[in-house]
Structure 1
Amino acid sequence: MSDKGRGIRGLTLFLAAAAGFSNANIYYNQPLLGHMAHSYGEGANSVSFIPAATQLGFALGLVLLVPLGDTLDRRKLILWQTAGLVLALVAAALAPSPLLLLVASVVVGASATIAQHIIPLAAELAPPEVRGRMVGTVMGGLLAGVLLARTLSGLVGEHFGWRAMYFLGAGIAVAIGAMLAVKLPRFKPEKTYSYKRLMLSLVQLVRSYPQLRRAVVAQGALFAGFSAFWATLSLLLQGPPYHLGSDVAGLFGIIGLAGILAAPLAGRIADKRGPGSTRGLGALLTLAGFALFAVYPTIPGLGLGVALMDAGVQTAMVSHQSVIFALEPGAHSRINTVYMTGLFLFGAFGSAASSAAWNLAGWPGVAILGLVLAAASFLLSLLAGKQK
């Protein structure tokens, strides 16, 4: 391997780690809610809104901060957001009341969109012939952060208290920020825009690129199924015949790390054969995962289904990103904003729909919902192949 190749590989692995640790901050709070409620006592009911507050902050950051990467030095933007994340995490750790913790959580969510600057940055830094592989590796790191955040925070919260997790998160963010300051090159945007024009251009991108619209809907359908599964898994495991706690549901996230292996592989295939070769495969793997959930909802069946579903969602994700990041080189951040905001909305739909499916038909209803969504994504992938 040449020195240039080793340099790209090293930078890719670092960006993957930075994306994972940044995104993990959104999910640290979920296993800690019981500890938070116990520590606050009176008025602790508002603690249940902390995950929603963090997600709200993330949505605001996606729309209001991520597009700035196309008109400002992305390195400075990442470093400023990292500083904001550190301050917000420390504020959360020290919060004397649930209300202040809610406010800090909104800022944590908005600042954690650092990862959404890193993804287009990786696409911009990568030579075209390895772009899919580099983006896939970074997405693998991001997925690891999502899946392992709950496991880490659950362990830290149980042994050291919930505030310790926020202090640890702040320390990790300081370390990542210091390394980003050293490793990231400076960026000079091709064009500068007023903030108003930058926001209006998001609508123009949606209108101009049918490939972007199709990617949002096809990947959104898969992400809706993904969200539906994780929103109801603990309900399934708590009932008969399992009678298992929520800690076991969290351990299924480790099985989902199969997606980390799938992402770089999907990127390599997309580089060699084009993203169309892996788009449909991702939907089919997800479909197979939900088929297992429907017909074989045992612990082994659920475990294998999680591996298939996560690998499928991640494979399709990298394929769609290979498509959208090739559309307009100077608009990577705004394209990523449109794409991720769409996925966020589909994910919210999936979580809400899973509740309705669970109330109507129990676990079979959730599995059927996932099957329908994955099938719809596969059909859209076929349609995209014919219209390219």
Structure 2
Amino acid sequence: MEKNKKRVFTGTVAMLVILFGLLRIAIFTGYHMVTPFLPEIARNLDTTIVVIGLAISIRSAMGFLGPVWGGIIDLFGKKNSLLIALLTFAASYAAIYFFPSFPCFVVALPISYAATLTFDSAMYSYLSEMIPYEGRGRMTAVLEAAYALGFMIGSPVAGVLMENFGWAVPFVLMAGIAVVFAIALGFILPKEGEKRFGIDATVSHEMQENKAEKGSYFHRLSLVLKDKNALAALLTGSLLMGGNWFCQTMYGGWLEDNFDQGLSEIGFISAAFGLAVFVGSLLCLTLTDKLGKTKAMKLGAIVTICGGVIAAFTNQKSLIIGSIGLFLYFAFVEFATEACISLCTDVRAEIRGTVIGSSFGALAIGSTIGTGVSPVLYTKFGYTPCIIVGTVIVAIALLVIAKVLTPGFANKEKN
């Protein structure tokens, strides 16, 4: 089986990874453009940042169903799941533009994220059957770099569009891009067991037929819950994501309230923080497969804590030094999180879709807590407590990595 998988690790598959990456730039432009401009969106919807923060938290909570989507993908196929998810994303973002009201926003935003998580689970599962484990750190880095570019490129573009054409315009633009990609992928992608345009999905089909764990979704989920290392990896991802969102949710409010930054300025500073996330993806690309996933996660968590300490002590006095601390924080928490996602692709290969779906569900738990609590914390006490809480959570993740995860437990993982 491993020999066959290496055979399809070709330039064509690499181009497919890049195509998915381009699509993720658009999807995560839509995802990232909410938090930097949270005060602006709240003003236009005639509500408060705490209420919009709760809407974002509800969006994150949709990830709790990640294991369910992963199980559905295992049973019903990845290509169909990809296309349905894209069209659902497009419909939800178009609704925000055409029906610009708080009730529509609070319903459409979680639906868009449910579609995003379904798309991501199907995408990772689809590609992981074609790419060997020792190459998946690089695969994850390319795909998560798109997440960063959505932050880095999309935030300033969204800021300019909001300032000149209205707050809802970026949403309909992302919807249109998603429809175009859905049509393109529907034409290009082979289903499992087929070949098309040089893309060989027969290995995925063979994996499903000969290696996939049989039984109900609940049986497959029980296998995940009984595996100590799987649970430790899921907990680590949840903690890293929670720490990230405690710092990320309210930095736009910090820039506006403490340093009088406007929409365009916030957009361009967001691009700098997006660059930090991109740097984290580059670190994943160059270091994760060389160091081993668990060592990469440790390194990322340690430097994240250092960045958090710098930001906590300087953010009220200096925009530059505080931003440097946040840059380190965002870069290395991304590095650690991507290494964790890469690790999850081979925790239990026979139920890969369920494990990957569970990993996105675990990430959603962390982001739900971070996005829900941090606006309340910010409103009452300011930005510094948000940074402190986020840093402490990452420190707990480091303890889990060091004390609970068994080094070398996954296939070909370095000790």
Tell me, yes or no, whether TM beats 0.5: yes
Deviation at 1:301, TM superposition (A): 1.6
Q: Structure 1 stretch 104-113 or stretch 281-290: which is displaced more?
A: 104-113
Q: SS at 1:220's partner residue?
A: helix
Deviation at 1:33, TM superposition (A): 7.4
| Structure 2 residue aligned with 1:296 | 314
Deviation at 1:382, TM superposition (A): 1.6
Q: 1:343 to 1:72 in 2, by over 3 A?
A: same
Q: SS at 1:326's partner residue?
A: coil
Q: SS at 1:186's partner residue?
A: coil
Is the counterpart of residue 222 in structure 1 residue 227 in structure 2?
A: no
Deviation at 1:280, TM superposition (A): 0.6
CA contact (8 A) 1:234 1:249 kept: yes
| Structure 1 residue aligned with 2:188 | 183
Deviation at 1:97, TM superposition (A): 5.4
Q: How many residues align?
A: 379
TM-score by length of 1: 0.83
Choose which of 278, 281, 288 in structure 2 pairs with 1:270.
288
Rounded to whole Å, the distance in 2 between the matches of 1:236 and 1:94 is 30
Rounded to whole Å, the distance in 2 between the matches of 1:261 and 1:328 is 29
CA contact (8 A) 1:71 1:193 kept: no
CA contact (8 A) 2:237 2:362 kept: no
| Structure 1 residue aligned with 2:352 | 332
Q: How does 1:247-286 map to 2 (within 5 A)?
A: 247-256=264-273, 257-286=275-304
Choose which of 119, 137, 140 in structure 1 pairs with 2:142.
137
TM-score by length of 2: 0.78
Q: 1:237 to 1:146 in 2, by over 3 A?
A: closer
Rounded to whole Å, the distance in 2 between the matches of 1:373 and 1:97 is 35
CA contact (8 A) 2:62 2:114 kept: yes
User: Please, which runs of 5 or more residues in structure 1 have no aligned partner?
Assistant: none
Identity %: 18
Deviation at 1:333, TM superposition (A): 2.3
Q: SS at 1:125's partner residue?
A: coil
Q: How does 1:25-104 map to 2 (within 5 A)?
A: 25-29=30-34, 31=37, 34=40, 38=44, 44-45=46-47, 49=52, 51-52=55-56, 55=59, 58-59=62-63, 62-95=66-99, 98-104=102-108
CA contact (8 A) 1:54 1:107 kept: no
Deviations 1:343-375 (A, max 9, x none): 211222234454565467644433332332222
The amino acid that maps onto 2:22 is A
Rounded to whole Å, the distance in 1 between the matches of 2:116 and 2:64 is 11
Deviation at 1:159, TM superposition (A): 2.0
| Structure 2 residue aligned with 1:307 | 327
Rounded to whole Å, the distance in 2 between the matches of 1:177 and 1:345 is 28
CA contact (8 A) 1:85 1:170 kept: yes
Deviations 1:253-279 (A, max 9, x none): 312323223324324433234212211
| Structure 1 residue aligned with 2:175 | 170
Q: SS at 1:244's partner residue?
A: coil
Is the counterpart of residue 232 in structure 1 residue 250 in structure 2?
A: yes
Q: 1:117 to 1:386 in 2, by over 3 A?
A: closer
| Structure 2 residue aligned with 1:212 | 230
| Structure 2 residue aligned with 1:121 | 126
CA contact (8 A) 2:83 2:185 kept: yes
Rounded to whole Å, the distance in 1 between the matches of 2:104 and 2:130 is 39
CA contact (8 A) 2:57 2:367 kept: no
- Aligned Cα root-mean-square deviation (Å): 3.4
Deviations 1:2-61 (A, max 9, x none): 9964323322211222223223333445538747865x8xxx549965944871684376
| Structure 2 residue aligned with 1:367 | 387
Deviations 1:197-218 (A, max 9, x none): 32x2464144222222212222
Q: 1:384 to 1:280 in 2, by over 3 A?
A: same
CA contact (8 A) 2:159 2:263 kept: no
Deviations 1:86-105 (A, max 9, x none): 33333333227554454444
Rounded to whole Å, the distance in 2 between the matches of 1:303 and 1:56 is 25
User: Please, which runs of 5 or more residues in structure 2 have no aligned partner?
Assistant: 1-6, 193-204, 410-415
Deviations 1:324-351 (A, max 9, x none): 2112223222212211222211222234
